[in-house]
A and B are shown apart, each in its own frame.
Chain A
């Protein structure tokens, strides 16, 4: 009886969003009379930071500072349609929709500015600070504030735009079953080091080293926040969490936080996060979805590390002390 050490590695390709019926998300963008911009969505911010990212995407596309953009995700009854916040899809799907809507709004904004400045809209550019300038003659300019006032009270224009994301639905091929479930994949690789007590079956994760390839980090600190939390969650899935240990039998299913276990602040593995950025072809500013993806590679890595430590393959999650001890017993009797 001893504490045994093991190390496991795993790599994943993870789809951003899904392709059941095209995975649509729509967005609307409009300006207020004073030249702030409103993004209306039904996509929900669960704390992952979608509002911040959508404000950045809208601001960058229109050419205003981020604090000039308000994101309203208030109500799925009244907002434009969204499939939901899941499957690492928020940034990619809603982000693409917001870019399209913001481009259309920007075009109207430039047309109104062109009328005010008596030039062609194609000769105008934004300075990112809230002004529209004539290319090559920046002394001729107008503030977006004044453009919005003019649109609302003088020219009768709505500075607004509509955007949507939709990919053609992919049906499985009859012969092979092959299909295209996604257009965009994020990648990750994790190395986990564990200690397994072969007397009690208890697993301690010592270190997890993760590399995540996420397209482009639109907000690096918030990406890191997702990845740190996700890495912890992956270990939690690997070793602790289950609603139905004897599924479909409900007996012994966790009913509260005393039974539905997760690693607490005293059970943290030493965690390392490395971010690789390879901009995706169809993501907003190259982004892919890091959210759900980042909680996956730890699971096979821990399973492999347990195998390396004590020589048993646990193929049912979570990898509980009971499952390890049963496997060790079966192995000994073979």
Chain B
């Protein structure tokens, strides 16, 4: 079968790959490009572990065909830290003990980042709503909710 060329930026860096038609963005990122931060929990759009940000919007990479991402700007959790300094959300997840096995964590952080990008000062309900597409087996969610609220507070302090 003929390979299809795709080109996009991943965390600011140009990427170009030849892929099989029908390859999901999740598989392209993990198996072709080697960014394993998005996780495959269900491969059918029900767990949120594969969440990435495409042109500013939260998307499930398991339901997105890589060939539809030509020219897109894609962000994953592995692109968040800068020069070894963790993103405020990553820091807050650590400090709040909001991760155990960590399988849901990259998806949670992507969902939280999109929320905070649009709503810098969210209410608890906003956070719950933003995380409601993401499944976690381990934490009971409360530490994650607290981490997102803490990250929002630290962001607004830095901005002030």
Structural contact, A228 and B100, CB atoms closer than 8 A: no
Minimum Cβ distance to chain B for residue A95 (Å): 19
Closest to B140 in A: A232
Q: Give complex CA distance A48, B102 in Å.
A: 10
Q: How far is B139's CA from A35's CA once the two chains are assembled, in angstroms?
A: 36
- The stretch among A168-176, A198-206, A255-263, A305-313 that forms the contact with chain B is A255-263
8 A Cβ contacts from A205-228 to B = 221-222, 224-225, 228
* Among A228, A230, A233, A257, contact of B42 (Cβ-Cβ < 8 Å): A257
Which residues of chain B from 98 to 157 have any CB-CB distance to chain A below 8 Å in the complex?
99-103, 127-129, 131-132, 135, 137-145
A265 B132 Cβ-Cβ under 8 A: yes
Output the nearest chain A residue to B133 by Cβ-Cβ distance: A264
B142 with A225: CB separation less than 8 A: no
Q: A229-B139, A265-B141 in contact; A222/B101 too (CB < 8 A)?
A: no
CB distance from B97 to the nearest CB of A (A): 4
What is the bound-complex CA distance between A144 and B146, given in angstroms? 42
Q: Nearest chain-B residue to A225 (Cβ)? A: B97
Q: Which residue of B lies closest to A47 (CB)?
A: B101
Q: Is the beta-carbon distance between B101 and A264 smaller than 8 angstroms?
A: no
Which residues from chain A contact B44 at a C-beta distance below 8 Å? Answer: 256
Interface membership of A2, Cβ < 8 A = no
Q: B97–A222 contact, CB under 8 A?
A: yes
In this assembly, does B46 line the interface, its C-beta being within 8 Å of a C-beta of chain A? yes
Verify B141–A264 contact, CB threshold 8 A: yes
| Total contacting residues, chain A, CB less than 8 A | 23
A contact residues around B139 at 8 Å (CB) = 225, 228-229, 232
Where chain B touches its partner, the secondary structure class is: loop
> Which residues of A in the span 239-280 have a Cβ within 8 Å of any Cβ on B?
256-258, 262, 264-266, 268, 271
Known: A48-B100, A221-B97. Contact between A271 and B42, CB under 8 A?
Answer: no
B23 to chain A, nearest CB (A): 22
Interchain CB contact under 8 A, B47 and A271: no
A256 touches B42 (CB 8 A): yes
Pair B138/A257 contact, Cβ less than 8 Å: no
A231 at the interface (CB under 8 A from B): yes
Interface status of A46 (Cβ within 8 A of chain B): yes
Question: Across the interface, do B141 and A268 meet the contact criterion of CB distance under 8 Å?
Answer: yes
Instruction: Tell which of B102, B103, B137 has the most Cβ of chain A within 10 Å.
Output: B137
- Given A49, A258, A265, which contacts B145 in the complex, CB threshold below 8 Å? A265
A233 to B138, CA, bound (A): 8
A128 to B137, CA, bound (A): 37
Set of chain B residues within 8 Å of A268, measured between Cβ atoms = 140-142
A138 to chain B, nearest CB (A): 37
Asked if B141 and A225 make an inter-chain contact with CB atoms under 8 angstroms apart, the answer reads no
* Given known contacts A256-B46, A257-B47, A258-B46, A228 and B101 CB-to-CB distance under 8 angstroms: no
Q: Are B135 and A266 in contact (CB under 8 A)?
A: no
**How long is the Cα–Cα vector from A225 to B131 in the complex, in angstroms?**
19
Q: Are B101 and A46 in contact (CB under 8 A)?
A: yes
- Given the complex, which residues of B lie within 8 Å of A271, measured CB to CB? 140, 142
Within 8 A of B (CB), among A24-67: 46-49
Q: Which B residues lie within 8 Å of A49 (CB)? A: 100
Could you pull out 7 A-B pairs where Cβ atoms are within 8 angstroms?
A229-B138, A256-B44, A257-B42, A257-B46, A257-B47, A257-B135, A266-B129
Q: B-side interface residues toward A, CB under 8 Å? A: 41-42, 44, 46-47, 97, 99-103, 127-129, 131-132, 135, 137-145
Further pairs besides A47-B138, A225-B139, A228-B139: 13, Cβ < 8 Å? A46-B101, A48-B100, A221-B97, A224-B97, A228-B140, A228-B143, A229-B143, A258-B46, A262-B135, A264-B132, A264-B135, A265-B145, A266-B129
